[in-house]
Amino acid sequence: MIWSKEETLPRHKLTELQTERLKDTVARVYTNVPFYQKKFEELGITPADITSIDDIVKLPFTKKKDLRDNYPFGLFAVKKDAVVRIHSSSGTTGKPTVVGYTRADLDTWNEVMARVFTMAGVTSEDTSHNAYGYGLFTGGLGLHYGAETVGATVVPSSGGFTSRQLMLMKDFEATVLTSTPSFALHMAEAAIAEGYDIQKDFKLKCGIFGAEPTSLGLKEEVARVWGIHYCEIYGLSEIIGPGVSANCFESSDLHVFEDHFYPEIIDPKTLEVLPLGEKGELVITSLTKQAFPIIRYRTGDITSLDRTPCKCGRTHVRMKSVMGRVDDMLIVNGVNVFPSQVEHVLSNIEGITLNYQIIADKKGYLDKLEIMVEVTENMPLDSIGSLEALKKKIQHELLNNLYINAEIKLVEPRTIERSVGKAVRVIDKRNLS
Amino acid sequence: MNYTIKQLSIFLENKAGELSEFTGVLSKNNISIKSILLADSTDFGLIRTIVDNPEKAKTVLEDEGFSVRFTDVFGVKIEDVVGSFDKAVRALSKAGINILYTYSFYEANTGIFIFSVDKDRFDDAIAALQAQNIEIVQAKHFYM
C-alpha cells in the first residue's frame, strides 16, 4: 500500500517538483532569514542563480552550530504568530537547537508519517502503541500524529514503566509498536520474565523503530522475538523529526521522501558531492518547510543513496541504514550525547580532572554508559561518604543536563591513558555492524 | 607542644595490586608506616595513614600518580583498661565536638587512638581532653 501519489511520481516529474520547490524555498530564506541572505551574498549568489534542482550544489551548507548561533528563532522564516509548535534539543554545551512548525509544516509532518505507517502496513483498523518519549523530543508526537493520520488508534504510552506498557499492549490489543529498537527488545525480555507468552498474549504485527543506529542483528532479533515486520524509520528534528525516510516491505533501505527533503551525499572533508552508491555524509535540504526551512543541512550521519527502481513501486531514492557518524556524537538509548557536553558538565564539578573516558556498552538490550573520572591529585575529600557523594553529584548533573544515566567510576589521577594526539574520550563497545 | 599529626588520605581504586603499589612507594623511599586504616566501598578505597615523614610521603606518592590529602588529626593515649576509651570520647562529646572518625593502634600496653574532628574544633578538643587529664601524643612521637 502507498499513501500518496507523490511517492510514485516518474523521475522527471519528481525533478520538476523538486526544482520548483527548491526555488521557492531559496526565495523565502533569502527574503526572510538574514543568516541565509548573508551566506548567499558571501558566495555571490542570488535566488536567480537557482534554476534547477542541480543548482543546489551552489548553495551554502548549514551546520548544527548555525542553529545554536541563531538561538532561538534566528533561522525562522515566518513571524512568530504563524508558528504553532516548537521542539528543541537538550543542548547543554551552549544553546539548544530550536525548530518550529507552522500549521502547514505539521500537515507535511503528518503526511510523511502517514506514508511511513502505510509503508509498514498500518491502517485504520490497527492500534498503535507509541512508546517513544513525548515532549520536546520529536519522536513521541511525530509517531503519534502519523498513526492518527492513517486513522489508527493511538495509545500515547511514552517511555518507561515497562510492566505497565506490557499490560496496556496486551489489554488494548496493540497491533503496532513504535519505539526505539533497544526498548522493543527490552520490553520483549521483560515480557518473557513476567511470564507472558509473546506470540499468544500480544497481537503485534509490525513495529516502526528508529532514533538510534541499529545493527542488522538487533533488527532481526526484534523482528524474531516479537514475530513482527520491522520497519525502520529515520529522521531528525532539524529536518522535521521522524519521517524523513523509512523502509518498505521490499527493501531494507529507506525511501527518502524527496518531494519534501532533498538528500545529497558529500565527502565530509572536501565537501564535494559524491556519486550515487558512495558512502559519505548525508546532507538534506527541506523543500517545503515554512517555519524552519533548512538549506543543505549536514546531518553528520554516514550513509549512501541508491536510485535503482524498487519493487514496491515508489520512485523515491533509497538510503542505507545509517552506518555511523562523522563527528563523535554518541547515541545512547535514543538520546544524542557529545563528549564535549559531558566535558562541560564535568568542568563544573570540583575535585575531578577533565581526563575522562566514556565507555558505551550494552546491558541486555539497552545501552549502558560508564564514565571514568579521575579525582584530582590534591584530593579534596577524605571520607568514603564524601567520595560517594561526589559520584552521585556527577551522576545527577549528567542526568539533569544531558538526560543520560551513566555509571560513574572514580579513578586515581593519571590512570586514564594519555595519547599523543587526540585524547580517546569514547570507547564504544556496542559493536553495531 | 605540638599535637597536630599530619595524616595522609590516599584514594585507591579497588583493583588487585593497588595497595602493594602504595606500600611499595613508601618502602622504596624509606618511609615508615606508623598507623594505617583502609576503608573501602564497592569500587574504591581510602587509606588513612600516619607515617614518619608525611611531607616526603606526599611528594613521592603524588609523583607516582596517587591522589593524596593531608588531614590534621591528634592521638590520644589510652590505657588497656575498661573505660579509658570511653573517658576520652565522653570528654569530646561533652565539649560538643563531633568525632569524624577514629582508629587505633597499640604500643606495648597502651593504645593510641587517632581522632579526626572538625577543623575549627581541633584546639577545643585538645583542651577538653587535657582538662580530663587524658594524655595526648605529641606529634614528634611519630616523626623521625
What average pLDDT does range A299-311 have in this prediction? 95
Q: Which domains are assigned to chain A?
A: 1-325 (3.40.50.12780), 330-428 (3.30.300.30)
- The overall average pLDDT reported for chain A is 91
What's the pLDDT at A433?
Answer: 47
B101, B131 contact by CB (below 8 A): no
Task: Tell if the CB–CB gap between A414 and B65 is shorter than 8 Å.
Answer: yes
| B13: nearest CB among A378, A379, A411 | A411
Share of chain A above pLDDT 70, in %: 96
Q: Determine the Cα–Cα distance for residues A162 and B78; give it in Å rounded to an integer.
A: 58
Chain A neighbors of B68, CB-CB under 8 A: 377-379
Choose the weakest-confidence range: A99-108, A165-174, A178-187.
A178-187
What average pLDDT does range B57-78 have in this prediction? 91
* pLDDT at position A422 over 70: no
- Interface of B to A at Cβ within 8 Å reads 9-13, 39-41, 43-44, 46, 48, 62, 65-69, 71, 100-101, 116
Backbone angles phi, psi at A223, to 5 degrees: -65, -40
What average pLDDT does range A334-342 have in this prediction? 79
Task: Tell if the CB–CB gap between B46 and A414 is shorter than 8 Å.
Answer: no
Q: What is the pLDDT of residues A372-399, one digit of tens each?
A: 998 887 777 778 888 899 999 999 999 8
Q: Is there a common fold for B4-71 and B72-142?
A: yes
CA distance B135 to chain A (A): 26
In the DSSP assignment, the letter for residue A322 is P
Best of A376, A377, A390, A417 to disrupt the B interface (most B CBs within 10 Å) is A377
B48, A382 contact by CB (below 8 A): yes
Does the beta carbon of A410 lie under 8 angstroms from any beta carbon of chain B? yes
Residue A79's contacts (CB-CB under 8 Å, 6 or more residues apart) are none
Neighbour tally for A13: CB within 10 Å: 13
Does the beta carbon of A392 lie under 8 angstroms from any beta carbon of chain B? no
> What b/e readout covers A215-230, taking b as 16+ CB neighbours within 10 angstroms?
eeebbebbbebbebeb
Task: Tell if the CB–CB gap between B67 and A387 is shorter than 8 Å.
Answer: no
What average pLDDT does range A167-192 have in this prediction? 92
* pLDDT at position A363 over 90: no
How does strand A153-155 pair with strand A127-130?
parallel
Neighbour tally for B86: CB within 10 Å: 11
- The overall average pLDDT reported for chain B is 89
What's the pLDDT at A91?
Answer: 54
- Residue B46: closest C-alpha in chain A: A384
Does the beta carbon of A409 lie under 8 angstroms from any beta carbon of chain B? yes
The predicted model scores a pTM of: 0.70
What average pLDDT does range A399-420 have in this prediction? 80
Is the ipTM value over 0.90, yes or no?
no
Residue type, A275: P
Task: Tell if the CB–CB gap between A380 and B69 is shorter than 8 Å.
Answer: yes
Q: What is the pLDDT of residues A284-298, one digit of tens each?
A: 999 999 999 999 999
* Assigned fold of B4-71: VC0802-like (3.30.2130)
Q: Determine the Cα–Cα distance for residues A205 and B89; give it in Å rounded to an integer.
A: 71
Best of B5, B12, B43, B67 to disrupt the A interface (most A CBs within 10 Å) is B67
| Domain-wise residue ranges, chain B | 4-71, 72-142
Q: Is A421 helix (H, G, I), strand (E, B) or coil?
A: coil
What average pLDDT does range A124-142 have in this prediction? 94
Dihedral of CA A346/A347/A349/A354: which sign? positive
Q: H-type helices in B40-120, by residue range? A: 54-63, 84-94
Instruction: Please give the C-alpha separations between residue A188 and each of A9, A132, A179, A225, A364, in angstroms, as whole numbers.
Output: 39, 16, 12, 7, 11
Does the beta carbon of A432 lie under 8 angstroms from any beta carbon of chain B? no
What's the pLDDT at A420?
Answer: 47
Model confidence band, residue A90 (pLDDT cutoffs 50, 70, 90): low
Choose the weakest-confidence range: A159-168, A419-428, B119-128.
A419-428
Model confidence band, residue A421 (pLDDT cutoffs 50, 70, 90): very low
Q: Which has the higher per-residue pLDDT, A413 or A296?
A: A296
User: Is B72-142 a CATH 2.40.110.20 domain?
Assistant: no
* pLDDT at position A93 over 60: no
What average pLDDT does range B112-140 have in this prediction? 90
Residue B74's contacts (CB-CB under 8 Å, 6 or more residues apart) are B3, B4, B5, B114, B115, B122, B125, B126, B136, B137
Q: What is the pLDDT of residues A29-77, one digit of tens each?
A: 999 999 999 999 999 999 999 999 999 999 999 999 999 999 999 999 9
| Closest residue by Cα to residue A11 from A376, A317, A349 | A317
